[in-house]
């Protein structure tokens, strides 16, 4: 099978770090990521199945990995070599003699049907019984056994050497990871489900109420999806989105932002939206009040600092983007008694009315309702991976949102 594989190679890793600094996505050509013809992944256990990716998205964390920017924090919870790609819609090929098709789905003539992968590798996928308390609650993203059990370390499919990943023509998945796709749903919509689930989780874990002013910093894929998720599941009083590029502004407004502003305008926008006072004679040097909740969907030092600048005392900042190493002044955190929290992955959510739903179910609902398939801007075949990654790294400026690999036409897949 053909796969983009990330190998442990210190020299190439160093080269990727340099190239990645020079141009986003530059690590793709010189780094540890290489297009290989490799053996098919074997099934690690009884409940595992082969799936053939159809579309696989390129995510911000993937880009950081490719460019050597990812934190070394990940080292013990991934296993090399791995095939990246965790935003996957795939064909599930039922093994001969297997009885089950997932309920509610219609199989294709060849016996396959489409599934979306929920990539988190929790206790169930790892064959651990009894499951850890987090998995017992349904909070898969918080699983406490991610380096243990029947498969090697790896926080998600796409970071584990035993599962393969979406950036290839074939991979394996545990049955518990698969969500059937309604035939009416396009592949483009389906590939948006995983990132949408992240956004839904971020939105719902930020405890937004309908009297809140909420700021979404950044209008890349995550920012836009978070905007849509907040608007649908936990609508606030005012939703301010910070967007850099014109198409982002348009989409943000379309997905439910009340106010869309440029990055430099955030302080003034929050000040006005909240009607708070500000220090500075007509300039907003420092806000005295601020937003109730900020979702930082960028994850840079600057964006976290911005978040701390525009939050009200006792407000909540949620880091949705992967922040990595940042340097920031925590004085406001202390003086304003802020809560700074992360939002990673998904599991089970509690809605305002108290019902508990799987994040992925909510994500499916949102993708369909908000027509999020529109956010897939470009697809590339595997062999043009360098272009694809460069495009994804520069998506905002080039007018794109989500860039994905299209594996449907790959020869190896259809053999």
Partner 1 sequence: MPRPGFVLDVDRSTPPILFHHGEGFRLERLPADRSRVIYPAEPLPALRHPDEAIRQALCNPVGDSPPLPELLRAGMKLTIAFDDISLPLPPMQRPDIRQRVIEAVLDMAAEAGVDDVELIAALALHRRMTPSELRHALGDRVYDAFAPHGLLTNHDAEDPDNLVELGTTDAGEVVEMNRRAAESDLLVYVNINLVSMDGGWKSTATGLSSYRSLRHHHNVRTMEHSTSFMDRHRSELHHSNWRMGEVIRSSGPRIFQIETTMNNNVFGTEGPMAVLQKREWEWTARDRVSFTAMRKGLEQLSAANRRRIFQNWKAPHAMTSVQAGEVEAVHEVTLEHTYAQHLVPVEGQTDILTMGLPYICPYNVNSIMNPILVMCLGLGYFFNLYRGKPLVRKGGVLIMSHPTPWEFHPVHHPSYIDFFEQVLAETTDRHEIEQRFEKSFAEDEWYRHLYRTSYAYHGVHPFYMWYWGSHALAHLGRIIVVGGDVRAVRRLGFQPASTLTDALEMASDVVGRDATVTHVHNPPILMADVT
Sorted by sequence, the CB contacts under 8 Å of residue 377 that are 6+ apart come out as 395, 399, 400, 401, 402, 403
Sorted by sequence, the CB contacts under 8 Å of residue 298 that are 6+ apart come out as 217, 218, 220, 223, 321
Sorted by sequence, the CB contacts under 8 Å of residue 306 that are 6+ apart come out as 217, 242, 263, 266, 296
Cβ atoms within 10 Å of 246's Cβ, excluding its own: 9
Minimum distance of partner 1 from residue 115's CB (angstroms): 41
Minimum distance of partner 1 from residue 311's CB (angstroms): 17
Cα–Cα dist 322/70, whole Å: 9
Contact region with partner 1 (CB under 8 A), list: 76-84, 99-107, 256-264, 326-334:
256-264
Could you give the maximum distance between any two Cα atoms of the chain, in Å?
75
Instruction: Find the binder of partner 1 among 79, 177, 259, 377 (CB under 8 A).
Output: 259
How many residues at the interface with partner 1, by CB under 8 A?
19
Minimum distance of partner 1 from residue 211's CB (angstroms): 16
Answer yes or no whether residue 359 interacts with partner 1 by CB under 8 A: no
Q: Measuring CA to CA, how many Å separate 295 from each of 159, 204, 263?
A: 26, 11, 14
Contact region with partner 1 (CB under 8 A), list: 19-27, 57-65, 100-108, 260-268:
260-268
User: Nearer Cβ to partner 1, position 23 or 277?
Assistant: 277
Minimum distance of partner 1 from residue 386's CB (angstroms): 33
The site map against partner 1 for 261-290 (x = CB under 8 A) is xx--x--xx-xx--xxxx-xxxx-------
Minimum distance of partner 1 from residue 254's CB (angstroms): 13
Residue 30, helix vs strand vs coil: helix
Asked if residues 166 and 158 have their Cβ atoms less than 8 Å apart, the reply is: yes
Alpha carbon 290 to its chain's center: 27
User: Nearer Cβ to partner 1, position 11 or 288?
Assistant: 288
Minimum distance of partner 1 from residue 143's CB (angstroms): 43
DSSP sequence for 78-122: --SSB----EEEEEEEPPTT-----TT----TTSEEEEEE--B--
For partner 1, the binding residues in 118-177 under the rule CB under 8 A are none
Contact region with partner 1 (CB under 8 A), list: 213-221, 252-260, 370-378, 403-411:
252-260
User: Nearer Cβ to partner 1, position 275 or 354?
Assistant: 275
Asked if residues 120 and 156 have their Cβ atoms less than 8 Å apart, the reply is: yes
User: Nearer Cβ to partner 1, position 244 or 268?
Assistant: 268
For partner 1, the binding residues in 220-249 under the rule CB under 8 A are 249
Binding residues (CB under 8 A) for partner 1: these are 249, 253, 259-262, 265, 268-269, 271-272, 275-278, 280-283
């Amino acid at each position: 099978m053909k796969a983009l594989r990330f190998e442990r190679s210190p020299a190439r890793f160093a080269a990727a770090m340099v190239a990645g600094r020079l141009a986003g996505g530059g690590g793709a050509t010189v780094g540890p990521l290489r297009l290989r013809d490799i053996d098919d992944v074997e099934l690690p256990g009884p409940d595992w199945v082969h799936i053939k990716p159809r579309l696989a998205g390129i995510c911000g964390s993937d880009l950081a990995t490719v460019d050597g920017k990812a934190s070394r924090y990940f080292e013990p919870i991934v296993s090399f070599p791995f095939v990246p790609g965790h935003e996957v819609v795939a064909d599930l090929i039922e093994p001969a003699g297997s009885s089950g098709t997932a309920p509610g789905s219609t199989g294709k003539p060849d016996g396959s049907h489409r599934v979306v992968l929920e990539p988190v590798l929790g206790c169930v996928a790892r064959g651990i019984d009894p499951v850890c308390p987090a998995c017992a609650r349904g909070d898969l993203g918080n699983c406490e056994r991610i380096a243990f059990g029947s498969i090697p370390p790896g926080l998600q499919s796409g970071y584990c050497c035993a599962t393969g990943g979406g950036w290839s023509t074939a991979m394996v998945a545990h049955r518990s990871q698969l969500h059937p796709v309604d035939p009416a749903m396009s592949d483009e919509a389906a590939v948006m489900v995983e990132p949408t689930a992240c956004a839904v989780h971020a939105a719902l874990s930020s405890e937004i109420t309908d009297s809140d002013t909420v700021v979404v910093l950044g209008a890349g894929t995550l920012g836009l999806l978070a905007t849509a998720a907040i608007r649908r599941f936990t609508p606030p009083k005012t939703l301010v989105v910070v967007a850099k590029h014109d198409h982002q502004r348009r989409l943000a407004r379309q997905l439910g932002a009340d106010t869309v502003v440029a990055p430099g305008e955030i302080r003034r926008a929050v000040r006005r939206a909240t009607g708070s006072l500000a220090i500075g004679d007509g300039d907003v040097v420092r806000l005295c009040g601020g937003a109730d909740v900020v979702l930082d969907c960028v994850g840079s030092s600057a964006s976290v600092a911005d978040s701390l600048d525009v939050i009200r005392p006792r407000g909540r900042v949620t880091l949705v983007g992967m922040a990595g190493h940042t340097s920031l002044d925590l004085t406001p955190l202390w003086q304003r008694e802020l809560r700074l929290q992360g939002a990673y992955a998904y599991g089970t959510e509690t809605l305002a009315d108290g019902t508990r739903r799987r994040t992925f179910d909510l994500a499916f609902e949102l993708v369909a309702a908000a027509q999020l398939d529109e956010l897939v801007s470009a697809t590339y075949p595997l062999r043009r991976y360098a272009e694809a990654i460069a495009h994804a790294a520069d998506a905002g400026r080039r007018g794109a949102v989500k860039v994905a690999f299209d594996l449907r036409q790959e020869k190896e897949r259809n053999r």
